[in-house]
Structure formats: structure tokens, C-alpha cells
Chain A
């Protein structure tokens, strides 16, 4: 799970960016990718995403592995689109018709997903999550939400282990988790009680942790402390990324108007 942080300690131009700048620049790019729709812009969009991955020195294997699941999902949706979207028919496979419109749409969707997913990985995989959350707070994220992100992040590893151990222990008392044929309702009941128990014990643990924090002077959000000054490279990155993002949006608009 915390696999995402695995490469956050590398050294690359992206890793060295000031956190708020990195967040702003890549967020602008991601937002502009969401707007892109015209096939002409797909290549530049993918090129930018690839450039980001290269600049971050994140392993391609890492990016590919993480994008595999959502791509599969989208391709499944794509099959529906290709077969059902109406419009010009490219070919026929027996009773099924392959529509050009659907095919084009699938291409656009897949490209956008890949580009957005890759840049998101670059944004969140090049720094530990708490660092990125601090940057978000400095940029206006309410401190209550920032705290929830940090505390949940810390808690869910332990809770994941708790649930897994509970299931193992229950398996050792006769629950057949993998059994397909029968017993599903009782398994659901067992899981419901485990989830309920997790609520109860995690709540108790959280109260203890909160008490410990109060004893160490926590009275609300942790004070932020001075921000790292924005260096010229980071400033340039933000300006450049926002400019490219705006450019993409304008291009999409113009192409939409013209086409």
C-alpha cells in the first residue's frame, strides 16, 4: 500500500521541486488533460505525461503496473462503447458492429486516463504523502481535512493488518473464506461483526492517541512552520506548466469551435 512512497526518496528535477510549486504545476496539467478531447491533442498530452515521468526518474514498470487496473476497466467500458455507440460502422463481426465513433472515443478515454494517471503518480509518488498534504494546506486546504488525511493514512495500515489477522484467526476457527458454494450469509455476518469490532477498537485506540497528542501540546492542527522558499526552478516550473495547461485548453476550445 505505502508502495506509493517507495520512490519518494529518489533524486530528480521533480523530486527537488518546492512542494507547493510541484502541486500547482502538475494539478494545472492534470486539469487541462481533463478538458482535452480532440484527437489532435492526444499526442502532445501523452508526450507531456511521458516527459513528466522521465523527469521524475520513476521506473516505467512502476507506472505501468499501477495504471494496469484502471486501463482494464476503461477497456471494458470501451467494448460497450465500440459496439453500441451508433454512427458510422467500420466493420462487422457477425451480429456485432464496430462503430468508428465508439473506437475514437475509447482511444480518447484511454489516452486521457493514461496521461492523467501518469502525472498523478509523478505528483504523489515523488514526495512522502505528509509533505504533499502540508503543501495542500498552505495552498488553502482546510486544516481539519488535512488532519483527517494524515491521521487516516497512519491508521489504515494498522487497521488493514487488524482485519487481515482477524480473518486469519477466524479461518482457524472454521470459517471457509474461499468457499463459493454456501455460507455466504454467515460470512457476511462475521465480516459485519469484524467491521463493527474494528470501529470499536480503533475508536478506543484513537482516543488514546488523541490524549497522548494533547499531552504533547496538540490543540488543533499542528502549526505549520516556515515554508521552504520557492526557488527559481520551481517558479519557472509553475509558470511553464500553467502556460502549457492554458495552451491546451485554448487549443481544445479553438479546435472545438473550428471542427
Chain B
């Protein structure tokens, strides 16, 4: 069931997860033994039905949630829950949870300032993050009144400013309009960071992530090249998913044209 991806270039393992189990109480076990590796610079899609455990997995990787069992290693070093890790960046599903300052610039500067960086270093980081996400002209605006797409890129900028090498995106394209979604995809393709992208937007995952992990009911049920996995109709439907439309063979015309 698990197809190990040949990372080809022999890139180093960035993230290593072994037998991860997370429970929220004695009876509710959310993750039941999850194991996978991610290489440096790799982009991996994480898909699965609601309640599969994706968000919990991300919180565990960020050190927010304490696992009941198993290990997580980033760059070989074990993740200890409760300790702030600047090398992992989690972009939350709802941008409102990461944007609370009166201006976008202050929000993006928030992280570097907490690192006690010198003011000119902070400005440099802010400028870089704003440029990478394409929101430099929004820097004096209040984030609360921005559009969904603008908020999304700003929230990504707030995380990027800490320069994490592992980025985790929880439903980044939710409620984005077409143009914002395209901008997000372009950003993800250009970003050199190692990335985990959870999304219901399977077309986005196909475009951005060469490899996909399918999570269902707290377990990894498939792990391999995205096209291969998403083309497996039986597998997709078994886990509450659907084959993306772009993979449906267009040999027989099946679009309805109204004459």
C-alpha cells in the first residue's frame, strides 16, 4: 500500500515520522500509527475526507499537540511538543486566526520581532516575505478588511517571515477566487521550502505536489506519485475522494453541449 517515492536526487530526509499516534482523550484516537518521510525540498499533498486527522497531524508536526506514541524528527532532531520551533511554519485554514495586527506589515513583522531580531533584519524579512507572496502594496492596510485571496497570501507572509524550511498548508485554497487561487499555485510552485499541502482542491494538489499521501481514519492508506494515486478511482472513492476531472480520459466526449 505504501509506495516509497524515489526522490531521485538523493535529497536529505527533512521530515521523518514513525508510528505516530495522537489521541484527544482515552477513547478518541485521531492518529493511529502514521509513518512517512519527506525529503528536502519535496512538496507532498495530504488528502483525505474530513475528520481523517490531517489537521491533527499538522499540529503534531508543529509541536503543538503531544503524541501518545511515535516519533517525529525534523533534520534528524526529535520534535519536542510545547517548544516553539522556528523551522516549521503552519499556515492555518482560517487566515483570520493568523492576522490580528492593525496593519499587514505589523502582522508580518510580528514573528521576526518575537525572535528579537535587529530592526533592520526585521524590515528585510518583512520586505522579502511580502514580495514573495506578492502583497507588498497591502502592507499598510488592515488585514481584517482584505479579500479572501489577499488574506490568504498575507497569512502565508506572516509565516514566511520566520523563514521556516518546512511549510505546512492547511486548506490554503479554501474560498479563493480563480485569480487568487492561481496566484497561490504560482507561489507554491516557486517556493523552495519543503511543503506539506492539505487540500480538498485535488487539482491544486496535482499541479503543485508530485507526491500525495492519502489519510483516512487516522491512518495513511496510500503514499505515492500524485497522478498514480489520484487516477486510482477505486482507491479515491473508498476514501471519500474523487478522481480529479483533469485525469478523466477525454477519449469519449462526455461534456454536455447545449445547442
Q: Answer whether A and B touch in the complex at a CB cut-off of 8 Å.
A: yes
Among A152-207, those with CB < 8 Å from B are 162, 165-166, 168-176, 190, 193-194, 196-197, 200-201, 204
Known contacts A169-B92, A193-B102, A201-B144; is-contact A174 B114 (Cβ 8 Å): yes
Among A192-228, those with CB < 8 Å from B are 193-194, 196-197, 200-201, 204
Number of interface residues of B (CB under 8 A): 26
CA distance A175 to B94 in the complex (A): 19
Known contacts A173-B159, A174-B162, A175-B114; is-contact A168 B64 (Cβ 8 Å): yes
A/B pair count, beta carbons within 8 Å: 54
Min CB distance, B162 to chain A, in Å?
Answer: 6
CA distance A222 to B115 in the complex (A): 52
Interface assignment of B96: CB less than 8 Å from any CB of chain A? yes
- Mark each residue of chain B from 97 to 140: 1 if its CB lies under 8 Å from any CB of chain A, else 0: 11111100000001100110000000000000000000000000
Interface assignment of B23: CB less than 8 Å from any CB of chain A? no
- Mark each residue of chain B from 79 to 100: 1 if its CB lies under 8 Å from any CB of chain A, else 0: 0000011101110101011111
CA distance A194 to B101 in the complex (A): 8
Known contacts A173-B158, A173-B159; is-contact A162 B84 (Cβ 8 Å): no
Q: Which residue of the partner chain A has the closest CB to B102?
A: A193
- Asked if A171 and B92 sit within 8 Å, CB to CB, the answer is no
Among B138-162, those with CB < 8 Å from A are 144, 158-159, 162
CA distance A42 to B59 in the complex (A): 52
Among B40-67, those with CB < 8 Å from A are 59, 62, 64
Known contacts A168-B64, A171-B64, A173-B158; is-contact A194 B96 (Cβ 8 Å): no
- Asked if B97 and A166 sit within 8 Å, CB to CB, the answer is yes
Number of interface residues of A (CB under 8 A): 20
Tell me which of A169, A175, A176, A204 contacts B97 (CB under 8 A).
Answer: A169
Tell me which of A176, A193, A197 contacts B84 (CB under 8 A).
Answer: A176
- Asked if A173 and B162 sit within 8 Å, CB to CB, the answer is yes
- Asked if A173 and B100 sit within 8 Å, CB to CB, the answer is no
Residues on B with beta carbons closer than 8 Å to the beta carbon of A175: 114
- Asked if A201 and B96 sit within 8 Å, CB to CB, the answer is yes
- Asked if B98 and A169 sit within 8 Å, CB to CB, the answer is yes
Residues on A with beta carbons closer than 8 Å to the beta carbon of B115: 174
Q: Which residue of the partner chain B has the closest CB to A196?
A: B100
Residues on B with beta carbons closer than 8 Å to the beta carbon of A174: 84, 86, 110-111, 114-115, 162
- Mark each residue of chain B from 158 to 185: 1 if its CB lies under 8 Å from any CB of chain A, else 0: 1100100000000000000000000000
Q: Which residue of the partner chain B has the closest CB to A174?
A: B114
Residues on A with beta carbons closer than 8 Å to the beta carbon of B101: 193
- Asked if A172 and B97 sit within 8 Å, CB to CB, the answer is no
Min CB distance, A207 to chain B, in Å?
Answer: 13
- Asked if B110 and A197 sit within 8 Å, CB to CB, the answer is no
Q: Which residue of the partner chain B has the closest CB to A202?
A: B96
- Asked if A197 and B92 sit within 8 Å, CB to CB, the answer is no
Question: Which residues of B approach A to under 8 Å, CB–CB?
Answer: 59, 62, 64, 84-86, 88-90, 92, 94, 96-102, 110-111, 114-115, 144, 158-159, 162
Closest 8 CB pairs of A and B: A174-B114, A197-B100, A173-B111, A165-B97, A200-B144, A169-B98, A194-B100, A193-B100
Could you write out 22 A-B pairs with CB less than 8 Å apart? Answer: A162-B96, A165-B92, A165-B97, A166-B98, A166-B100, A169-B97, A172-B64, A172-B89, A172-B90, A173-B158, A174-B114, A174-B115, A193-B100, A193-B101, A193-B102, A194-B100, A197-B96, A197-B99, A200-B144, A201-B96, A201-B144, A204-B144
